[in-house]
Each structure stands twice: as structure tokens, then as C-alpha cells.
Amino acid sequence: MVSPVRSLAHRFAILVLVIFLAAYAGKCLYSIWANLRIGDIWSNDFFAIWSFAKFPVGDHAVNIYDRSILQEFQESLGSTPTVHLPFSYPPSFLLLIIPFGVMGYYAAYGAWILGTFAFYFLVSWHREWPRSATFIVVFAPAMILTFVYGQTGFLTSALIIGGFRFADRRPVLSGILFGLTSIKPQLGILIPIALISARLWRTAAAAGVTVLVLILTSSTAFGWSIWPLWLSQLLGHADWAATTKPQYMPTIVANLTFLGVAVTVARVIQLIAAVAVAGIIWLCFRGGVTNLGTSTLLVGTFLAAPYAFVYDMPMVTNAILAVAHDKQRMHRPLSIPEAFILVFSLILPMLMVETWRPGAIRSVPLILLFGLIV
């Protein structure tokens, strides 16, 4: 039985966390309003996505991988010459975003961010979750920063979470969602391991067919040379991503290079970590898909992936809530170290963006959270 003092302390801690998250959300949302009010659409990452969506409308889509041509086009939309926004996504991503290219910027931004957030919220929400969990889904720093940047984090998180949520009941739908995750392939590297370990053959087959359809459709629409061109530039894209605001990347290789470790050594350590994480994921899914098994994969993705950004982290928030709910379901209150790990992981995106030196430990809370779930 929980003592009255401990119950009061628990309620007070939740209240402090709620106020803190709401205040940070207010600060970030004000910055969006301030920029858009003066017509500054270029400081938001969605400008890049919007420019990518508009490019095939007036030019040959294959030229989107020519950085000089793409930059000239972006400058015609108002971007400055000092800002480099290359298209590093696979060609299939163009299929999904082209409709936004025929819209004005503000309409496209609203449709994109609200639509992808609604998708994420729907696949994340559980009836048995308390109201505080729903609040965190909306106001967690990872959510707010994805909203601020106008990036792909809601979409990719929803695809992965939804894929596992439907894996048992609707395997074909699950596979389609996993197949669509290939628009950011580095975030899906653990999914095949989980599906094979759990023996979800229909889901794996549906995912493979979806990827094949995306390749054939995008090749038909944009030219058969576009996929070989993307593959030929894959390493260049990875090198570019590794040098783009490394403090905003929670991956092991970015953390190590940030601390001064040579890139080659950091990549070897990253590979070793990825193999270790993959082995643990295999074991976690041997008994099928579970909430904690899925959470292990969601967090492990950022320890195994060669590169990922702070705006890819809404899925980590989902994992944090799954751990807290599991404790509640088992009628086992969180210990102080467990609560610290969950809160530290929850506010990690804010620490990465708002600070510099504390950002050097950005892999630590994810390693601790991964260990806690395992």
C-alpha cells in the first residue's frame, strides 16, 4: 500500500512536470507564431519538404539529387544561398509529398503537421492510459520540437508504432505500414529482425511487396534512373547528415564524434552497438509482439541507426509511456532511479536543442532506458 506522503509526492512531481512541459511548449509554439507572422518560412525545416514536393512539378524529378540544381530552385522560393537543403530521401518519399507541392506554404504546413500528428496520436493512444499520459503524448518535448521543425517524426513514428500495433490482428495492414517506413530506411533497420524473430511472415511479405510497389511506382513516375542515382549517393547523404548539427543527433556515432572520437572509430563502435541491439531485439520478439518488446525496438533504433535526429524521437515518448503503464498494470510503483531514467529520456530532446555541453551525454539516457526496458 502506498503511503499518503509518497502519494502526495507523486502528485506533486507530476504537477511540476506538467507545468514544465506546458511552459516549454508555450515557448516553442510562440517561436513558430513569431516567425510565420513576419513571413519567415525559411527558418522551418518544412520549407525543405515543401521545396522537395514542388520540385518535380516544374523540373525533371531525377534532378532533385543534383544539389546545385535543387539549391537554385530553393533560392527561387526565397531560401538564402548559405542554406544547404539537399534531398537525401529515397525517391518513394516524393510520391507521398507531391500533393503538398501544389499547395501554398501555410496550407501545406498546416496539412502536413496536423495530419501527421493526428496519425501519430491515433496509433499511440490507448484507452487504459490515464489523462496524464495523453497530456504527455501532446506536450512531450519530442512532440513539440517535431511540430516546430515541421519534420517527418510524427509520420515515421506512427508508421512503426502502428505497424506493431496491428501486427497480430491485421498483418497485411501492418506490413503496409512497415513498407512505407522505407521512406527513412535507417529508422527501420531493426524491423525485419523483429518480424523474422516473431515469425510474422504475412506481415514481412506485405512489407516487402509494399517496398517493391513504391520502387516500381516511383520509377515509373520519375524515371528508371532515379533509384540507381539515389543509391550511388547514399554514402554521401550519410556523410552530409553526420555533419548537420551533430548535437541534434542522439545516435552513438554522433555522440562519440561530438566528444572528439575519430569518425572511423566511432562508426566501428556504432556497428558493434547495432549488432548487440539487434541480438537483443531478436530475443525480445521470440515470443511475439508485446508492448515492452516494441518499446525496446523503438528506443533501440536510436542506438543502432547510423544517423537520426531529435525530430525522429516521438516514438521514444511512446516507449516511455509503455514502460510507465506496464509498471502501473503490475501495481508496482516506479522506483526513484526508474522515474529518473524516464524523465531524463522524456526531456532529452529539449536538452539536445537548448544546451550544448549537456548534449554530449545525449546517448546516455537512451542506453539507460533501453536497459530498463530489457
Q: Tens digit of pLDDT for each residue in 176-208?
A: 999 999 999 999 999 999 999 999 999 999 999
Q: Give the model's pLDDT for residue 358.
A: 58
Provide the pLDDT confidence category of residue 2 given band limits of 50, 70 and 90: low
- The number of CA neighbours under 13 Å toward the Cβ of 23 is 7
Q: Give the model's pLDDT for residue 4.
A: 64
Q: Helix-strand-coil percent breakdown of the chain, rounded to 5? A: 75, 0, 25
Kind and range of the H or E run holding 217: helix 201-222
Global model pTM greater than 0.85:
yes
| Whether 253 contacts 306, CB under 8 Å | yes
CA–CA distance, 355 with 265 (Å, rounded to integer) = 26
CA–CA distance, 187 with 192 (Å, rounded to integer) = 11
Report for 24-38, 76-90, 138-152: range of highest mean pLDDT: 138-152
Decide which of 148 and 79 is more confident.
148
Q: What share of the chain in percent tops pLDDT 90?
A: 53
| Whether 300 contacts 138, CB under 8 Å | no
Nearest by Cα to 157 from 140, 177, 172: 177
Q: Is the pLDDT of residue 143 over 70?
A: yes
Q: How does 83-102 read in b/e, with b if 16+ C-beta sit within 10 Å? A: eebbbbbbbbbbbbbbebbe
CA–CA distance, 28 with 360 (Å, rounded to integer) = 22
CA–CA distance, 45 with 43 (Å, rounded to integer) = 7
Cell of 325: 503503464
| Whether 206 contacts 174, CB under 8 Å | yes
**Span between the terminal Cα atoms of the chain, in Å:** 27
